[in-house]
Structures are given as C-alpha cells and as structure tokens.
C-alpha cells in the first residue's frame, strides 16, 4: 500500500484546456493516461513505446471497421509489421475460447517478447487482451486504447484483466499494468446511447465513494454530458481517471481501499450473471446495484436516505436503470438467486458476502451485512 498518494481536490475550472494527462504512480510500472480528441492519428500519442518488429492490435468485429485502420497507420512508422486480431463482440464472448484466439494469433504471427499488444475497444476487449498479454510468454508489453466511455473512465486503468467463468463474473484473470492508456474522445462519437449511459454509471460511482464535490458537478452538468459536450466530457473522464489512479496507487492489488471501486458491483454482478451475460450491460447492472448498495447503507449504517435518493435521480437523468430485475418470476426465488450469485463474489470471505457500503456520503467501506437486511434491500429495490 502506498499511503502517501493523495487525491487532489476537484476544481473543474482548472481542468478546462487542451490535452489532459493523468499519471498512475506505481514505481517502475508507472504510466500515463492521455486524454484528448484526435489521439489515434497523432504520432505524439505513440512516441516512446518500446521498439519491436511486430505490433498486434486486438479489437472486435464492431470496432475494427471504425478505428483499426487509423491505428494501424499510426503504428506503421514504429513497427515493421502491424497485425490485427478480430474477436467476436460481446460480454458473452469474454471466455477461454476467445482468449485462445488471441494466443493463436500471437503464435501464428511469430510474436516474441518484444511484441507490443494494443487493446483497441471497450472493456471486454481490454480485459481479455490484458489477460492474454499477461500470459503470453509470461508477459509481453501492452497498451490500452479504450473506445467506450466505461473503458476510458474505469476498465482500461489499473491493470485488472480477466475473463468470465460461466458461474462467476471476471473470476479468472491477473493484475497486469499497461504501458500507457490512450483515451481518444473522438471514438465516443460513434458509441450507441445505451453504451454511453452505461459509461456514465461508472463516472457517477466516483462521487458517493470518494468525491461529493464531483457528484455535485455531475448533477449540474449531466445534461451537457448526455449531449457529449467535449469540454464537459474531458473533465468527467479526467476526474474519473484521477480518482481511479489515486485508488490504484494506494492499493494496486485490492488488499483494502481498492475494494471501494466495487460499489454497486456485488449486486450488479449478480444481475449480469443472473440475467445471462450480455443482456444487462455492465454499467446498467452497476447503476441498479449502486442504488441497492446505497439502500443497504441506509439500513446498515444509517446513511441519510436523501443521498440514496439523489443518486437515484442522477442515474435516472443519465437514462440508467435504478431498480434491479427479478431473476426468477417468484420474488422469494429471485432473492435466493441473488444471494446465491453474490456468495461467489470475489469479495466474499469464508462464504460471507461482503458489500461496499457508504459510511457517509463520499466515504465507502466494505462490510458484512446480516442476510435479513440484504433481503429487505432486494425486496425494496427489485421489480
Ligand atoms: P464492451 O467492451 O462490450 O463495449 C460495449 C459495446 O460497444 C460493444 O458492442 C463494442 O463492440 C462497442 N464499441 C466499443 N467501442 C465503440 C465505439 N467507439 N463506437 C461504437 N461501438 C463501440 O463494454 P464496456 O462497457 O466497454 O466494458 C464492459 C466490460 O468491462 C465488462 O466485461 C466489465 O467486466 C469490464 N470492466 C472491467 C474493469 C476493470 O477494472 N478491468 C472495470 C469495469 C468494467
Ligand atoms: N473496477 C474495479 C477496479 O478496477 O478495481
């Protein structure tokens, strides 16, 4: 743990400007997160990466047609050969079979220890590519180029990589940091509205867990964000990355503080897995899960319900779900199902489910909760 890392206060007016860079401080594995428009085509965004004969771009069937050509052209000046590996699209493909496609490509392309792997896509591509890079030859360098809002503000930062197990989300993976994260805001122009909202869920998350001033700013600026106003987006992405960089610098391998980033995720992962991967988007499940976690905080820790209600209103304005689904037609069976899924959550210890809850607005902690209270929350927050 690096207890010296501090989070600078949020001052939106000081962030107005051109290219933003947030540094993630992990000693000799430190790296920059670069945030701007036009980065894919900008040679400066790729300067200084390790030289090698081969670069492999890993992307998917949707993103390849949108952005692979620009990236390939930008990298052609630095690498003799730039190959592209195209994965099937979707959370339901975040598994061993798809991971194997990346290894097959690396072997067939003759990749060596100096091959640099570029993850071009959303969190699914980023998580799988990072895991492949961690494993291939016991680790080759990789770069994250997140193209969804969710991946720019969360999944590309901090080195968590994984695939899903059929019975548990993100259960098989590794901590493996990228060399650099390049967030080109231009790529968000093509993102469908539902995916954009899903990304807002992870941005909104940073308020209740760490930064009430940022939450107030989001309340004031949510309409500009929904219309994808450049400067507003840039500030939201930068602040989210600053908070995530601070948490990861304090606790890279999640032995304490980093658990707060899972606010809403214990309930959310149950929704994603229980409804079948891909049916609820990760950000949608996290949105409904955060309402449940805030409701549990009211019941367990006496958090003022005003905060839960403010969270609900902001999520609604971001067009996100604020109630969980019933996982089974009968309410009682649905509650049982939630509990079953949550028992396999990675934070569970010795069979006890642990939740990230709010001790106060802007202060998250991890706690066990009596099953009766969890059931009350599930009954109140699912429809
Ligand atoms: P995703 O990767 O499935 O992308 C969402 C959809 O948008 C996909 O259909 C994708 O093909 C498409 N897409 C991507 N970029 C696009 C663009 N610029 N224009 C148009 N379409 C585009 O989903 P996501 O929300 O980016 O990521 C969710 C995943 O991230 C989940 O698997 C979740 O577990 C993981 N995650 C990981 C971390 C972490 O710390 N590693 C954190 C949060 C979430
Ligand atoms: N999104 C959770 C984490 O990075 O720890």
pLDDT in tens, 70-94: 999 999 999 999 999 999 999 999 9
Helices within the chain (DSSP H only): 63, 69-76, 96-108, 123-135, 149-150, 193-210, 212-226, 230-250, 265-274, 282-301, 305-317, 331-343, 371-381
Percent of the chain with pLDDT over 90: 91
Q: Given ligand 1 and candidates 124, 168, 200, 241, which is best to mutate, with the most ligand atoms within 8 Å of its CB?
A: 124
Mean local confidence (pLDDT), 219-234: 97
Q: Which residues pair with 165 in a beta bridge?
A: 168
Report which of 52, 36, 378 is spatially closest to residue 186, judged by C-alpha positions.
Answer: 36
Instruction: Give residue-wise pLDDT tens across range 43-59.
Output: 899 999 998 899 999 99
By annotation, the residues acting in catalysis are 138, 160, 202, 244, 254, 258, 262, 265, 269, 282
Q: Which residues of 267-292 are buried (b: 16+ CB within 10 A; e: fewer)?
A: bbbbbbbbbebeebbbbbbbbbbbbb
Residues of the chain above pLDDT 70, percent? 99
Do 221 and 232 form a contact (C-beta atoms < 8 A)? yes
Residue bearing the CA closest to ligand 1, atom 37: 155
Query: Which residues, other chains included, contact 255 with Cβ-Cβ below 8 Å and sequence gap of 6+?
Result: 1
Please check the confidence at residue 1 and state whether its pLDDT lies above 70: no
Q: Is the pLDDT score of 3 beyond 70?
A: no
How confident is the model over 92-107, as pLDDT tens digits?
A: 999 999 999 999 999 9
Separation of alpha carbons 303 and 167, rounded Å = 33
The number of beta carbons lying within 10 Å of the beta carbon of residue 166 is: 8
Whether the per-residue pLDDT at 165 is higher than 80: the answer is: yes
Q: Give the three-state DSSP class for 80.
A: strand
Q: Within 13 Å of residue 171, how many CA atoms lie on the same side as its CB?
A: 17
Of 51, 261, 70, which Cα lies nearest the Cα of 150?
Answer: 261
The model's confidence at residue 148, banded by pLDDT at 50, 70 and 90, is very high
| Residue 2 confidence (pLDDT) | 63
Specify the DSSP class assigned to residue 151.
I
Measure 281 CA to ligand 1 centroid, in angstroms.
9
pLDDT for 167: 82
Would the pLDDT of 298 be above 60?
yes
Backbone angles phi, psi at 214, to 5 degrees: -65, -40
- What pLDDT digit, counting tens, does each position of 172-188 carry? 999 999 999 999 999 99
Q: Is the CB of 198 under 6 A from ligand 1?
A: yes
Separation of CA 155 from chain center: 3
Output the pLDDT for position 276.
92
Q: Is the pTM of this model over 0.95?
A: yes
- Which tokens hold the place of 39? 């980065």
Helices (H) and strands (E) in the chain, counts: 13, 11
Q: Are 98 and 128 in contact (CB under 8 A)?
A: yes
- Residue 368 DSSP SS3: strand
Give the single-character DSSP code of 316: H
Cα separations (Å) of 156 from 40, 129, 317?
Answer: 16, 11, 26
Mean pLDDT of the chain: 95
Choosing from 122, 127, 150, 160 the residue with most ligand 2 atoms within 8 A of its CB, the one to mutate for a pocket test is 160
pLDDT at res. 349 = 78
From CA 7, how far away is CA 84, in angstroms rounded? 38
Which DSSP state fits 46?
A: T
Q: Which value, in Å, is the radius of gyration of the alpha carbons in the chain?
A: 20
| Any ligand 1 atom below 6 A from CB of 159 | no
Token pair, residue 348, equals: 């569970």
Instruction: Render pLDDT for 299-313 as a digit per residue (tens, 0 to 9).
Output: 999 999 999 999 999
Expressed in angstroms and rounded, the spacing between residue 261 Cα and the centre of ligand 2 is: 5
pLDDT of residue 351: 75
């Amino acid at each position: 743990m690096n207890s010296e890392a501090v989070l600078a206060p949020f001052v939106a007016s000081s962030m107005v400007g051109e290219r933003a860079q947030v540094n993630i401080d992990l000693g000799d594995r430190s790296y920059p997160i670069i945030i701007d428009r036009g980065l894919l085509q900008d040679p400066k965004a790729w300067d200084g990466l390790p030289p090698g004969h081969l670069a492999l771009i890993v992307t998917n069937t949707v993103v390849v047609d949108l952005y692979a050509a620009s990236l390939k052209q930008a990298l052609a000046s630095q690498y003799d050969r730039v190959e592209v590996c195209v994965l099937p699209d979707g959370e339901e493909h975040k598994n061993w079979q798809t991971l194997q496609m990346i290894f097959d490509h690396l072997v067939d392309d003759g990749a060596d220890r100096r091959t640099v792997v570029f993850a071009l896509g959303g969190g699914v591509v980023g998580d799988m590519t990072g895991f492949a890079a961690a494993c291939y030859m016991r680790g080759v360098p990789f770069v994250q180029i997140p193209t969804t809002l969710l991946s720019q503000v969360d999944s590309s930062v901090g080195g968590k990589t994984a695939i899903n197990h059929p019975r548990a989300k993100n259960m098989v993976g590794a901590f493996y940091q990228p060399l650099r994260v390049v967030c080109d805001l231009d790529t968000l122009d093509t993102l469908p509205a539902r995916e954009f909202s899903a990304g807002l869920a992870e941005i909104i998350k940073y308020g209740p867990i760490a930064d009430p001033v940022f939450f107030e700013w989001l309340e004031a600026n949510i309409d500009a964000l929904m219309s994808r106003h450049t400067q507003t987006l840039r500030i939201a992405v930068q602040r989210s990355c600053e908070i995530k960089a601070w948490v990861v610098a304090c606790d890279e391998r999640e032995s304490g503080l980093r658990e707060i980033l899972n606010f809403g995720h214990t309930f959310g992962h149950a929704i994603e897995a229980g409804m079948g991967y891909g049916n609820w988007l990760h950000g949608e499940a996290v949105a409904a899960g955060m309402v449940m976690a805030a409701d549990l905080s009211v019941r367990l820790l006496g958090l003022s319900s005003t905060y839960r209600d403010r969270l609900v209103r902001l999520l609604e304005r971001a067009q996100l779900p604020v109630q969980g689904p019933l996982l089974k037609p009968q309410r009682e069976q649905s509650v049982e199902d939630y509990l079953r899924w949550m028992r396999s959550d990675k934070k569970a210890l010795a069979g006890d489910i642990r939740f990230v809850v709010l001790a106060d607005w802007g202060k998250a902690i991890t706690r066990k909760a009596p099953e009766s209270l969890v059931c009350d929350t599930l009954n109140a927050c699912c429809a």
